[in-house]
Amino acid sequence: MHGFAFYPLHLAHMSLTTCLGAGLQANWKAITNQHCGLKYCDFETVRLDTWIGEVNGLEKVHLPAHLRHFDCRNNRLAQLALEQDDFIPAVQLLAKKYGADRVGVFLGTSTSGILQTEVAYRQRDPHSGALPKNFLYPYTQNTFSVADFVRSYLGLEGPALSVSSACSSGAKVFGVAQRYIACGLIDAAIVGGVDSLCLTTLYGFASLELTSSNPCQPFGLKRNGISVAEAAGFVLLTKAKQEMDEEEIFLLSVGESSDAYHMSSPHPQGQGAQLAMQKALDGAKLSASCIDYINLHGTGTLSNDASEDQAMVALFGTTTPCSSTKGATGHTLGAAGSIEAIITALCLQNDLIPGGLNTLECDPALQSHYLLRNQAQHLKCAMSNSFGFGGSNCSLIFSKMHGVLDKQK
Amino acid sequence: MKMPSIFVEAVGICGPGFTGWAAATTCLQDETLWKLQATVIPMPELLAPSERRRIGLPVKLAIAAGCDALKQTHLSVQSLSTVFASSCADGDNCHPICETLALTERLISPTRFTNSVHNAPSGYWGIAMQARAPSTSICAFDASFSAGLLEAASQCLFNQIPVLLIAYETPYPQPLHDKRPLLESMSIALLLAPQLSSSSQAKLDISMASKPATAMGNVELEKVRMGIPAARGLPLLKLLANKKRGAVVLEYLNPYTLQVELDPIE
């Protein structure tokens, strides 16, 4: 079974819901208008001096009666995103073509439906300490809940799992799909990321002094932390075929690595990040000069951006255009890898590089070619970076071409 | 669907009545010899004392099975890809976080927050082993063992590299225990390789099935299999311990199970 290393997949359909809006069109319009979706934190009972990205209308989402037991903020967000962009009919078409058991569901999430548990802990029986009867752990808090819900909602019977590797989760699912399809386990996969606002991440990142009191300013001189946000994005992936035309978008490769350095701080020189990007380039059989744009992890913390910048400069030098879209969407944690993969695909489709928002002045200590304004430019290949706690790194390369490129090694 | 064959290079186990693969083979060959005993989780000596103070049970447990398997191989652990599979991951850590978040003063511990990620064992494994190879952390509720096996096998075949699967589980304390009762702590490790080698113990052929999952012969051991998601892999370990050609069916996601056919390699 040699020769699997290069195995491009076709992005057959996408759907995106963030604090910028529901659906691809709303999101792309906001990005082209350089609109920031963040607001001052007023989530639930949270009292923190920080900014968040909240998806509107989740209280109005009702799960179908037969799946009501899955009801929680995270699964409502998943359903809202599934219902956008004609995603469901696209899945149904492929499920009919290949069989419901030949479509996999691989989703990234960091906290799943933990908000349900956090609220349940306020409603414990004063005598026994028991959690309320209506709290259903398997369908809400458990990390698999979102993949289980999406698989059930779409009536699929193929392999499924949740990847939960913190903020790289939503990127790593693309690798799962690539391997499962290449090994013949399935013919198509729904990958994506769904993470929703909860107390654990808001108070948790605050405890590490990683939340900013302003909208996050990736790569900015005055950056001082992240803006926690929620979002859901889904991509339907199939094998790439020779006859597909040039306006289609393909996943060329997935590069993964571990920092082996620290649980919550990145390697200071970005060694792990560099390794992931290098592996993605190797997987795509591309040299660094073939990458026209990099959608950075760019969270807006001092150490994350400094580390990623070092890795970037080591591999790409200081001229490859890059930006972080977290200034617009916030940091969507376990969903970020998928959200930014979809944004990267939209950039390729529209030949536009989004400028990073909120950052007024780039940190002069960072040498990457970070864009603050949108830039129209013909794009062939682009990379999306996602790095997470535990030193989990993942870089994805997308392209308008799935075959051997001019500059390919 | 049928995947190409993969090979088992090493096995590790830590659980109730199981203290390492060498001892486990005896009671898996003759299940009447297995006795229910509380899981003894060794402290990972590979971690620096500063890291050891920070880690919780799931990390120690996952490292225990992984290190047990590593005893049987000469492969470099630094370059070994890993798959961590768990249903609940941070059993002993989630409760105090939720307790604190239910208070008016929500001062949660930064260490507890850091450890709350599903991939904490993966992160600490990387640090302990200085392993910069890819590592993933997955969950499929009660099907987590089989999902981990498929994930590890597909990585092994796609990249043509050995992959270490570590499935682990620690119970929640109350009141979460009532909502997700798990019997005991347990971890199982399988080192898989894409090619036959001098240290291969068995060849595996994995396929989807609709047959019911294989049960353990010993009634008490069957309770362990059903009571801990990681223990859903026990029938496969029994087949490996017996070194006999055969097949087992492992629990997977409805409506399917996974059939694993095994050919021992002498």
**Cβ–Cβ below 8 Å for A165 and B118:** yes
Residue at token pair 């070194």: B243
Among A210, A143, A331, A52, which Cα is nearest to B110's? A210
How many domains does chain B contain in total?
1
Distance, CA of B87 to CA of A369 (rounded, Å): 42
pLDDT at B266: 84
Mean pLDDT of A166-189: 97
A261-280: b (≥16 Cβ within 10 Å) or e: bbbbbbbeebbbbbbbbbbb
Min Cα–Cα distance to chain A from B30, Å: 34
What separation in angstroms does the CA of B47 have from each of B79, B122, B136? 18, 13, 20
Taking residues B105-126, what's their average pLDDT?
96
Nearest to B151 among A136, A161, A186 (CB): A161
Question: What's residue B144's pLDDT?
Answer: 98
Report yes or no: B96 at the A interface, CB cutoff 8 Å.
no
Cα distance between residue A265 and residue B192, in whole Å: 31
Question: What is the DSSP code string of B38-103?
Answer: -------TTS-HHHHHH--HHHHHHHHHHHHHHTT--S-GGG-EEEEE-SSS-HHHHHHHHHHHTS
Yes or no, beta carbons of A207 and B178 under 8 Å apart: no
For B151, residues 6+ apart whose C-beta sits below 8 A from its C-beta are: A161, A176, A179, B83, B85, B136, B138, B165
Per residue in A335-378, pLDDT tens? 999 999 999 999 999 999 999 999 999 999 999 999 999 999 99
For the residues A285-292, what does the mean pLDDT come to? 96
Residues B36-64: tens digit of each pLDDT: 999 999 988 888 888 888 899 999 999 99
* Residue A207 sits at the chain B interface (C-beta within 8 Å): yes
- By DSSP bridging, strand A352-353 and strand A321-323 are unpaired
Mutate to test the interface with A, among B7, B95, B139 (most CBs of A within 10 A): B139
Interface list for B 216-245 with A (CB within 8 A) = none
- Region B194-217: what's the mean pLDDT? 97
Share of chain B above pLDDT 70, in %: 100
Helix, coil or strand: residue A50: coil
**Cα separation of B187 and B193, whole Å?**
20
Residues of chain A found within 8 Å of residue B114, distances taken between Cβ atoms: 208, 263-264, 389
The mean pLDDT of chain A is 96
Residues of A within 8 A of B153 (CB-CB) are 183
| Closest CB from A130, A175, A204 relative to B113 | A204
pLDDT tens per residue, range A92-148: 999 999 999 999 999 999 999 999 999 999 999 999 999 999 999 999 999 999 999
CA distance A345 to A339: 10
Do residue A118 and residue B101 have CB atoms under 8 angstroms apart?
yes
Chain A contact for B132, CB < 8 A?
A: yes
Q: Spell out which residues of chain B touch residue A203, defining contact as CB-CB under 8 Å.
A: 101, 106, 108, 113
Residue B43: CB atoms within 10 A of its CB come to 11
Mutate to test the interface with B, among A207, A209, A265 (most CBs of B within 10 A): A207
State how far the Cα of A252 lies from the Cα of A9, in Å rounded to an integer: 7
Q: Please indicate, yes or no, if residue A404 is contained in any of the structural domains.
A: no
Confidence grade of residue B237 (pLDDT, cut at 50, 70, 90):
very high
Q: What is the pLDDT of residues A383-400, one digit of tens each?
A: 999 999 999 999 999 999
Question: What residues of B are in contact with residue A147 (Cβ under 8 Å)?
Answer: 140
How distant is the Cα of A378 from the closest Cα of chain B, in angstroms? 32
CA distance B211 to chain A (A): 15
Q: Tell me, what amino acid is at B254?
A: N
Give chain B positions within 8 Å (CB) of A137.
176, 179-180
Alpha-carbon distances, residue A319 vs A288, A353, A367 (angstroms): 11, 14, 9
Q: How far is CA B8 from the centre of its chain?
A: 14
Chain A residues in contact with B126 (beta carbon < 8 A): 258-261, 390-391
pLDDT beyond 60 at A405: no
A256 touches chain B (CB under 8 A): yes
Interface check for A263 against chain B (CB to CB < 8 A): the answer is yes
Q: What distance in Å separates the CA atoms of residue A52 and residue A214, rounded to the nearest whole number?
A: 10
Taking the Cβ of residue B135 and every Cβ of chain A, the question of whether any pair is shorter than 8 Å is answered with yes
We report the CATH number of the domain holding residue A83 as 3.40.47.10
- Cβ pair A53, A229 in contact under 8 A: yes
3-state secondary structure of A291: coil
In a domain, A57, yes or no: yes
Is pLDDT above 80 for A408?
A: no
- Closest-CA distance, A339 to chain B, in angstroms, reads 19
Rounded to an integer, the average pLDDT of B201-228 is 97
Contact (CB, 8 A) for A334 and A193:
yes
Sheet holding A39-40, edge to edge: A39-40, A51-53, A228-229
Which residue of chain A is at minimal alpha-carbon distance from B109? A207
- A130: nearest CB among B113, B118, B178: B178
> What pLDDT is attached to residue A397?
98
Contact A164, A335 (CB under 8 A): no
A344 lies in some domain: yes
User: Which positions of A are annotated as active-site residues?
Assistant: 167, 297, 331
When pLDDT is cut at 50, 70 and 90, the band that residue A1 belongs to is: very low
Share of chain A above pLDDT 70, in %: 96
Contact A176 B154 (CB under 8 A): yes
Point out the residue among A138, A162, A259 whose CB comes nearest to the CB of B126: A259
> Minimal Cα–Cα distance from A118 to chain B, Å?
5
Q: Cβ A263–B87 below 8 Å, yes or no? A: no
Q: Which of A229, A233, A284 is nearest to A255 (CA)?
A: A284
Alpha carbon of A31: minimum distance to chain B alpha carbons (Å)? 30
Rounded distance between C-alpha atoms, residue A232 and residue A79, angstroms: 9
Give the structural domain span for A59: 9-399
How does residue B195 score in pLDDT terms, banded at 50, 70 and 90? Answer: very high
Of the residues A69, A107, A121, the best mutation for testing chain B's interface (the one with the most B CB atoms within 10 Å of its CB) is A121
Q: How far is CA B163 from each of CA A165, A171, B73, rounded to the nearest angstrom?
A: 17, 20, 12
CA gap B211, A193 in Å, rounded: 32
pLDDT at B1: 60
Per the domain annotation, does B17 fall within a domain?
Answer: yes
CA dihedral in degrees (A337, A230, A78, A193; nearest 10)?
10
Q: Which of B109, B119, B123 sits opposite A164 (nearest CB)?
A: B119
Model pLDDT for residues A204-249, shown as the tens digit of each residue: 999 999 999 999 999 999 999 999 999 999 999 999 987 666 679 9
User: Is A195's Cβ below 8 Å from some Cβ in B?
Assistant: no
Is B32 an interface residue toward A (CB < 8 Å)?
no
Contact A204 B110 (CB under 8 A): yes
Task: Specify if B210 maps to a domain.
Answer: no
Q: How far apart are CA A160 and CA A146, in angstroms?
A: 10
Question: Which residue among A147, A179, A272 places its CB closest to the CB of B155?
Answer: A179
Mean pLDDT score, A80-102: 98
- Tally Cβ neighbours within 10 Å of residue B138: 31
- Residue A125 resides in a domain: yes
Place of tokens 């729904």: A190
Q: Report yes or no: A144 at the B interface, CB cutoff 8 Å.
A: yes
Distance CA B72, CA B31 (A): 23
CA distance B39 to chain A (A): 24
Q: Which domain holds residue B173?
A: 6-200
The residues, ordered by sequence, that sit 6+ positions from B85 with a Cβ below 8 Å of its Cβ are B137, B138, B139, B140, B144, B145, B147, B148, B149, B151, B165, B166, B167, B168, B230
Mark out the alpha helices in A46-113 (DSSP H runs). 73-82, 87-98
Task: Kindly state whether residue B234 falls inside one of the protein's structural domains.
Answer: no
Provide the mean pLDDT of chain B: 96
Return the percent helix, strand and coil in chain A, to nearest 5.
Answer: 35, 20, 40
Q: Which residue of A has its CA nearest to B112?
A: A204
Number of C-beta neighbours around residue A323 at 10 A: 29
Task: Count up the domains in chain A and report the number.
Answer: 1
Residue from the list B109, B141, B178 with its beta carbon closest to the beta carbon of A144: B141
A285 class by beta-carbon count within 10 Å (0-12 exposed, 13-18 middle, 19+ buried): middle
In a domain, B249, yes or no: no
The pTM score is 0.98
What CATH number has the domain bearing residue B182?
Answer: 3.40.47.10
Is it the case that residue A73 has pLDDT exceeding 80? yes
pLDDT score recorded for residue B46: 83
Beta carbons of A10 and A239 less than 8 angstroms apart:
yes
Q: Residue A162: which of A120, A200, A190 has the closest Cα? A: A190
Contact B187, B204 (CB under 8 A): no
- pLDDT(B92) > 80: yes
Nearest by CB to B106, from A199, A205, A272: name it.
A199
pLDDT band at A3 (very low <50, low <70, confident <90, very high): very low
* Cβ-defined contact of B89 to A143 (cutoff 8 Å): yes
